[in-house]
Amino acid sequence: MTTLSEHGMILSMKDKLDQKNFFIPAHVRSISDVSGAGDTVIGVASLCLAAQRPPYEIAYISNLAGGLVCEEVGVVPVNKDKLLREVIALL
């Protein structure tokens, strides 16, 4: 999983035969501050991994979470209710 800042994320997966890359676009947001976005992506991805979610879902949800914290000033925790609403609306 590689973050591409305001462009989204690339998820690369390799199986026995070939490598597949998936592009997850960023959602248009009113960006206030990017502080903590990478930490949020890692934290949410880790939580999704612990919940045994599939790789594409992990990348998609952590990408959304990283974008949400960029709408706030400073390093802030992701609002779980807002993240849940966005995941439900977009998946």
Q: Please list the active-site residues.
A: 39
Query: Measured between alpha carbons, how far is 82 from 11 in angstroms, rounded to an integer?
Result: 24
Amino acid residing at 39: D
Judge whether 78 and 37 are in contact, CB under 8 Å: no
Kindly give, in sequence order, each residue whose CB lies less than 8 Å from that of residue 90, ignoring residues fewer than 6 positions away.
Answer: 27, 60, 64
Residue 55 burial class via C-beta count within 10 angstroms: exposed 0-12, middle 13-18, buried 19 and up: middle
